[in-house]
Amino acid sequence: MTNKLKNDLYLRALLRENTERTPAWMMRQAGRYLPEYRELRAKAGDFMSLCKNPELACEVTLQPLRRYPLDAAILFSDILTIPDALGLGLYFAAGEGPHFERPINSLSDVEKLGILDPNQSLKYVMDAVTKIRTELKGEVPLIGFSGSPWTLATYMVEGKSSKQFTKIKSMLYSDPQTLHSLLKNLAQNVANYLNAQIEAGAQSVMIFDTWGGILGHREYKEFSLAYMAEIISNLHREYNGVRVPVTVFTKGGGVWLEDIAQSGTDAIGVDWTVDLGVARKLVGDKVAIQGNVDPSILYGTKESIEKNVQLAVEDYSLGRDLHDAEFNRGHVFNLGHGIHQDVPVENPAIMLEALRKYTERK
């Protein structure tokens, strides 16, 4: 497993170094929009069987790289691996998403959770990371990830996906100490989990705070951002002499960009409600910025996709010329959330080719 990369644009962009063009990857790039993924999942039997088989998880991770000129691979896994390993009884109901047999209802439930050894209880993830790194052969870097404590807690308390988040918000306002106890446990487990991924071969890590945006402005800082900052402070920021960048993505978190930039992260992921130019002005040179592109542009025509790529690049550039070193410094092109499962498979290639056209310095 070599540290030498043939394409390190993604890592350099996260560290706000100069890049010859803007690097790109896509959230959920390994997944169900690809026919080869659907075929492999059918053979595996179900989603978690696919996740828990290192060979199959490696294959799914590599599938989009064979189709598209991507600048990073992201581990194929799920954000709910930690709650599953904590014994909550994760299962997936057809058409309903994840469910837990034993949701968290009280402080005594939290006290039973304990701290995981990820190299034991989540060994299948580490085996997948190591295998993927080996199979990549240094072509592009590998991203590891976890859900944020707040996002994991929403599933653990609600017992399933939710639209109203009634149970966890009731806990937040009526029994905040129990929720803080749960979040503290998860912060330690997530930090350990991400460090184990780094030790296994992940060259960058990302914290997905999918549900941070449902919180009020004070509650976000107390119940979500504070715990992500705690995780970041406990991560391997360098491993085997190489810097390991970290990215924080809060969906719906555009109003907290300046606060997130103070968390210790190297980069901020943003959704499509965020203007890249405004975001860049707000965070200055503190962090890199990833994302913003509405996944639904991939339903559009070739001309429409290309135009939206151009607009994103222009927004980030703040009117600078292509050959200005600050034109794209700290920019990772990405979707503002996961790619939709029914987009035409040829359209991501159009998007990525347009990005090279608009940002590559000759």
Query: Which residues does the annotation mark as catalytic?
Result: 28, 32, 41, 78, 155
CB 348 within 8 A of CB 66: no
Bridge-based pairing state of the strands 97-100 and 142-147: unpaired
Could you give the CA distance from residue 179 to residue 177 in angstroms, rounded to a whole number? 5
Distance between CA 164 and CA 70 in Å, rounded? 36
For residue 276 the two structure tokens come to 């890249």
CA 131 to mean position of chain CA atoms: 20
Q: What is the DSSP letter of 74?
A: E
Binding residues for substrate: 28-32, 78, 155, 210, 337
Work out the burial of residue 137: count CB atoms within 10 Å of its CB; fewer than 13 is exposed, 13-18 middle, 19 or more buried: exposed
Binding residues: 28-32, 78, 155, 210, 337
Are 248 and 265 contacting, i.e. CB atoms less than 8 angstroms apart? yes
3-state secondary structure of 100: strand
**CA–CA dist 300, 291 (Å, integer):** 18
Ranges of H-type helices in the chain: 9-14, 35-44, 47-51, 54-67, 81-85, 107-111, 118-121, 123-136, 149-158, 166-174, 176-200, 217-220, 226-233, 257-261, 276-283, 302-317, 347-359
